[in-house]
Amino acid sequence: MTQIRLHNSKTRQKEVFTPLDPENVRMYLCGPTVYNRAHLGNSRNVLMFDVLFRLLRHVYGADHVTYARNFTDVDDKINARAAESGRPISQITEETIGWYHADMDALGALRPTHEPRATAYIAQMVAMIEGLIAKGHAYAAEGHVLFAVDSYDAYGALSGRSVDDMIAGARVEVAPYKKNPMDFVLWKPSSDDLPGWDSPWGRGRPGWHIECSAMTDALFGPSFDIHGGGTDLMFPHHENEVAQSCCAHPEGGFAQVWLHNEMLQVEGKKMSKSLGNFFTIRDLLDQGIPGEVIRFVMLGTHYRKPMDWTDRKRADADATLRKWREMTADVAAGAVSDNVIAALADDLNTAGAMAELFKLASAGEAETLKASAQMLGFLTDELGGWDRVDTGDHGPRIEALLIERAEARKAKDFARADALRDGFAAAGVLVKDTADGATWEAGPNFDPSKLNEL
Ligand code: AMP
Ligand code: ZN
């Protein structure tokens, strides 16, 4: 069996990956807060986890991998969006989830096995918070419930900070009801105009971090294999998830392996909604940039390195994919290259795997290229079609010339038949002879003016 090695943020080293249960490999990715179109940076870990999902399915079998990615559908940013637009919250979250699916589908990301919504797990969150209070890890104060960081010795271990460093370095919200300034909110009160649920602490809503702890527990149990998100989530979000889950279930280890992707940048700065320097995936798709091309650019940089989106990379990806699609159009996928799998198994080295694809293309190994590219989610039927040129109203003329070619062959007029064949090639029309007659397709260098000479 292929040995996979992953860089575990928890141990800060590359380790051999050994699933807790090879019959059910479990992976979780912190998903979006749904009030806005996803920006390009948001696609980075979605695509990285998509490749991980495909690799694990390849190694352990498609039925032996469970992938969960949540939708945060209760959040103050959503409340603010509803208040400023005068629209109901549920309309905003439903619309945004629809956009998210459409955008990630367009990039060829497989849908996760589970896409839990935070609002569907409030009861589990309340139960977990009650458990934390009972064990002395949390306390209620003024309608809030706070996690007591002093109660958990390993607090800070994931991100490598001490509580004292955090207090010195962080802009922590000092509130009179907090025993330690680093204590974080598990539950907070809601006024009547805000979404709220009844709880032992009054009507309120959850803090952000508790949802991932409650949902992984509900879907996977207290221990599972892989958890990920951007480096920006390591502290405080992931640190707090670990504290909540490990204190609620000391018998479980929560995530065995933590994967963190570096940020997508624009002009050397993190692309983010708060910095206002972002463009959405939909912006790019609307400009006519194919999802497959976006995917190619995004996977061209290893996930642990910062990356820049540039138009040069887009143009190169476009040209490469057109070439590969043309090369593999009439070819059945063969076996996936061992070198491609080896690169992916080496901490998801997508850039290395793509370098192997270039080698296969240069060597003319179309069957292996097709299978290996599909392993990475390229050259699939779902993402295809964009490379085929709009033939306008030249179709009937091409059909007529094909009939003429068939008649020339029947009449043994080989000179005419060959002239037509050469003419199609010059015009960039790819003709395929099948048992049911000839079919045609316009290639990327379609030039209908060449048909006039026939
Ligand atoms: P947010 O947009 O802050 O709700 O983040 C949602 C997910 O996208 C998280 O996993 C973040 O780590 C990730 N993310 C946000 N901005 C970027 C970026 N510029 N590059 C890569 N990942 C990002
Ligand atoms: Zn999370």
Residues with CB under 6 A from ligand 1: 30, 32-33, 41-42, 44-45, 229-230, 232-233, 261, 263-264, 270-273
**Which range is most confident: 164-173, 256-265, 274-283?**
256-265
The topology under which CATH files domain 8-261 is: Rossmann fold (3.40.50)
Using CA atoms in the order 149, 122, 95, 283, what is the torsion angle rounded to 10 degrees? 20
Q: Indicate whether 206 pLDDT > 70.
A: yes
Q: Which residues contact 437 (CB under 8 A, 6 or more apart)?
A: 406
Please give the residue that has the higher pLDDT: either 276 or 425: 425
Per-residue confidence (pLDDT) for residue 73, from 0 to 100: 97
Instruction: Supply the angle between the helices 43-60 and 338-345 in degrees, to the nearest 10.
Output: 120
Which of 127-141, 166-180, 206-220, 234-248 has the least mean pLDDT? 166-180
Q: For residue 259, how many other CB atoms are within 10 A of its CB?
A: 24
Residue nearest to atom 7 of ligand 1 (CA): 42
Q: Indicate whether 48 pLDDT > 70.
A: yes
Domain ranges of the chain: 8-261, 264-375, 395-453
Q: Indicate whether 77 pLDDT > 90.
A: yes
Per-residue confidence (pLDDT) for residue 442, from 0 to 100: 76
- Taking the centre of ligand 1 as the mean of its atom positions, its distance from the CA of residue 71, in whole angstroms, is 13
CA–CA distance, 48 with 425 (Å, rounded to integer): 39
In this prediction, residue 147 has a pLDDT band, given cuts at 50, 70 and 90, of very high
pLDDT mean across residues, the chain: 94
CA distances 291 to 42, 43, 48, 51, 89, Å, are 14, 11, 15, 15, 29
Per-residue confidence (pLDDT) for residue 278, from 0 to 100: 86
Q: Indicate whether 273 pLDDT > 60.
A: yes
Tokens of 10: 């928890």
**To which residue do tokens 């637009």 refer?**
85
For 35-48, what is the mean pLDDT?
96
pTM over 0.75: yes
Residue 431's DSSP bridge partners are: 440
Q: For residue 264, give the ligand 1 atom closest to its CA.
A: 20
pLDDT digits (tens, 9 = 90+) for 53-72: 999 999 999 999 999 999 99
Tokens of 115: 């896409």
Q: Indicate whether 176 pLDDT > 90.
A: no
In this prediction, residue 388 has a pLDDT band, given cuts at 50, 70 and 90, of confident
First to last CA, the chain: 57
